[in-house]
């Protein structure tokens, strides 16, 4: 499966058909298509691309709100995730963050994803397995208490009430390890940060990211009037070592 893109229109391309905004469009079977090719569908020219995390949320079913691309990249960067790590993801959604994490690990290391909603798990499994090898991905239906005693190098959290599980999050993170939280509103942010400080997690920062595209035209380049403003607040924490 490939990704196809024409401006803001993004779809999926299979061996003999494409899916664009839910519409199935036949593609000649004899045509050999590779990344970088331009194909014409419905009177528009699409470029063919390898599947990448940046396009994942645009082409998959959404039963829950997906983490925004701009936020995913910052969370991974600030959490210091790299190949070889043992990562815990709390809250799986449609699998957008799961795919991004597996892509970073590149089969070197492991990802454990936990979600209390079995429908989220079913959807995310189907979405992610279509685009990447998932042999190092473990999925658990339940909450973090199901893996009590396990220690992870980094943790990514996207649930409505992380403060109710902060003691378990702290005990599951190695000393010096980082955790990132995805929080839609100020109330959640405040409760989360206060809970971090009570559970041996140093609060490094809380941020909100704004994205604004640039329209590039000869002699008329300018910022787009539209921009992606608030999606969520991101909090980054570091597990403290406690010495007696």
Q: How confident is the model at residue 106 (pLDDT cuts 50, 70, 90)?
A: very high
Q: What pLDDT, in 10s, does the model give residues 70-105?
A: 899 999 999 999 999 999 999 998 899 999 999 999
Question: What's the pLDDT score for residue 58?
Answer: 67
Give the global pTM: 0.81
Task: Please say whether the beta carbons of 124 and 118 come within 8 A.
Answer: no
Question: What's the pLDDT score for residue 30?
Answer: 61
Domain carrying residue 131: 58-239
Pairing state between β 44-49 and 137-141 = unpaired
Average pLDDT, the chain: 90
Say if residue 45 is in the same domain as residue 85.
no
Is 26 within a domain? Answer: yes
Distance CA 84, CA 136 (A): 11
Residue 17 φ/ψ, nearest 5 degrees: -155, 160
Is 187 within a domain? Answer: yes
Q: Is pLDDT of 178 > 60?
A: yes
3-state helix, strand and coil shares in percent for the chain, rounded to the nearest 5 = 25, 35, 40
Distance CA 16, CA 163 (A): 48
Six token digits for residue 213: 């595209």
Say if residue 133 is in the same domain as residue 227.
yes
CATH code for position 97: 3.40.50.150
Is 244 within a domain? Answer: no
Is 11 within a domain? Answer: yes
Is 152 within a domain? Answer: yes
Say if residue 32 is in the same domain as residue 124.
no
Our CA dihedral for 222, 224, 225, 229, rounded to 10 degrees, sits at -130
Distance CA 216, CA 224 (A): 9
Question: What's the pLDDT score for residue 241?
Answer: 86
- How many structural domains is the chain composed of? 2
Mean pLDDT for 113-138 is 93
Say if residue 76 is in the same domain as residue 183.
yes
Is 126 within a domain? Answer: yes
Q: Is pLDDT of 68 > 60?
A: yes
Say if residue 198 is in the same domain as residue 104.
yes
Distance CA 143, CA 166 (A): 12
Task: Please say whether the beta carbons of 234 and 74 come within 8 A.
Answer: yes
Say if residue 101 is in the same domain as residue 202.
yes
Pairing state between β 17-20 and 86-90 = unpaired
């Amino acid at each position: 499966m490939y990704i196809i893109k024409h401006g803001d229109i993004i779809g999926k391309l299979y061996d003999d058909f494409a899916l664009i905004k839910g519409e199935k469009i036949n593609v000649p079977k004899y045509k050999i298509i590779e990344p970088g090719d331009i194909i014409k569908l419905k009177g528009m020219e699409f470029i063919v691309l390898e599947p990448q995390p940046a396009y994942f949320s645009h082409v998959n079913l959404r039963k829950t709100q997906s983490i925004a691309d701009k936020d995913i990249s910052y969370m991974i960067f600030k959490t210091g995730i790299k190949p070889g790590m043992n990562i815990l993801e709390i809250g799986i959604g449609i699998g957008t963050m799961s795919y991004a994490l597996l892509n970073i690990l590149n089969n070197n290391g492991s990802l454990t994803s936990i979600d209390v909603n079995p429908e989220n798990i079913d959807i995310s499994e189907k979405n992610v397995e279509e685009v990447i090898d998932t042999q190092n991905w473990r999925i658990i239906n339940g909450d973090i208490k199901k893996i009590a005693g396990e220690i992870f190098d980094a943790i990514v959290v996207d649930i409505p009430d992380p403060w109710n599980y902060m003691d378990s999050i702290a005990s599951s993170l190695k000393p010096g390890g980082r955790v990132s939280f995805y929080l839609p509103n100020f109330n959640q942010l405040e409760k989360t940060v206060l809970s971090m400080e009570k559970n041996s997690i140093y609060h490094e920062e809380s941020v909100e990211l704004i994205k604004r595209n640039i329209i590039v035209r000869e002699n008329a380049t300018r910022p787009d009037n539209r921009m992606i403003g608030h999606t969520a607040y991101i909090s980054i924490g570091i597990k403290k070592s406690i010495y007696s």
